Every structure is written in C-alpha cells, then in structure tokens.
Structure 1
Amino acid sequence: MSEVYESLMEGLNEALAFGRGEATGAIVHEVAVPEVDVAAIRASTGLSQSAFARSIGVAKGTLLNWEQGRRRPTGPAQVLLAVIAKRPSLVSELLR
C-alpha cells in the first residue's frame, strides 16, 4: 500500500477511536462563542427588525424569537452575531 493510503487509514482509525471516546492523543480545539444579546446587537446597527433580519439572512420571525428569548441563535448565526456585536458597522459596510 502507498504511504498516502497508510497515512489516511491511520487518520481515519484515529478519528473512529476518538469518536468512541478512546484516548488517541488527538489535539482537540474548542472554541467558545459568547452568548449574544440579539436586540442590543440589532440596536447597535441602527437597523429595523426587518432590515436586520434580511441583512443576516434570517426570517423576521426568527429574529423576533431571538430578541424575545423564545429561542437562541446557534451555530453560524451565533458566530455572525458575535462578530457584529464586536463591529456593528460591518453590516452596513457589507450591504453597500
């Protein structure tokens, strides 16, 4: 077998072992995304709920649920909102 094949198989077997909870020596990087205050972030942009929802690609109802605490943004939406919280002008810069 080729050296590349052996390396790939070793990596795949290590990933499977890690998935089973076995000690593999793998380096794990965890990124903590901060909780976000969606209403405050939107307010800092100066946009209406409709405009802000459109600018980040979500339905207005989704934004309302986030702002009223019925739901919380997760995954990419949470990361995007955390970025906007750090730099509110980003939304208007990208929409130009």
Structure 2
Amino acid sequence: MTDAELEAFEAGRDLHADLLESIRQMKAGQGTVVHSPLIAARTASGLSQSQFAMLMGVSVRTLQDWEQGRRKPSGAAQTLIRVAVAHPEVLRELVQ
C-alpha cells in the first residue's frame, strides 16, 4: 500500500465502528498476535520508534506498518533489518 493509498484508506475509515468490531472480536477470542523480529530488534537496541525510523530513513508510520505486518520493507531496508536483528548494538552505536 502506498502512502497515498494509506491516506485515502484512513480518510474513509469509521474509527468508532472499527473499535466496536475490534472489541467484538476480542470478546469472541478472535484476532491475531503479531510477532515481529523488527520490534524485538528495535527494543533490544533500546531505540524508540522515531529513532529507529530515522536510522532506517523512513517515517514512523512506515516503521509501524512494517512492525505490524501491514507493509513489507524494500530490499535495502530488509538487509538493514537483518543487521538490526542480528546486531542491535550496532544501532545504538549509530545513534551516538
């Protein structure tokens, strides 16, 4: 989903209805737990989403979409993410 498509989707959402549906799903035991190695790497590095996004050269929104599985990173970003997963300490060094 491109940024423009995402903005159009967000503009047309009924948040009240979405929240009510989410509550119904939770009560019914439905839903999905997202486990993201990206989240694990970011937390292991001790960086906030904004710091991590800045290092990756993307917006916080894009990083959130990656973490939640709504979007897939590009090839270059995937390589950086593999480095982040294997060596989160490198990210701390880059921030300093």
Name the TM-score class by shorter chain: 0.5 to 0.7
Give the 5 Å matches for 1:55-74. 55-74=55-74
Between Structure 1 and Structure 2, how many residues are aligned? 61
Normalising by structure 1, what TM-score? Answer: 0.58
Instruction: Tell which structure's C-alpha radius of gyration is larger.
Output: 1
8 Å contact from structure 2 (residues 38, 81) kept in 1: yes
Q: SS at the partner of 2:72?
A: coil
Partner of 1:53: 53
Unpaired stretches in structure 2, ≥5 consecutive residues: 1-35
8 Å contact from structure 2 (residues 47, 92) kept in 1: no
Structural RMSD (CA): 1.4
CA distance in 2, matches of 1:40, 1:73: 16
Normalising by structure 2, what TM-score? Answer: 0.58
Quote the sequence identity (%).
Answer: 46
Moved runs in structure 1, 4+ residues, more than 3 A? Answer: none
Greater percentage in helix: 2
Partner of 1:40: 40
CA distance in 2, matches of 1:61, 1:73: 12
Unpaired stretches in structure 1, ≥5 consecutive residues: 1-35
CA distance in 2, matches of 1:84, 1:48: 14
CA distance in 2, matches of 1:55, 1:76: 13
CA distance in 2, matches of 1:51, 1:81: 14
Q: How far has the Cα of 1:45 moved from its partner? A: 0.9
8 Å contact from structure 2 (residues 41, 85) kept in 1: yes
Q: How far has the Cα of 1:57 moved from its partner? A: 1.2
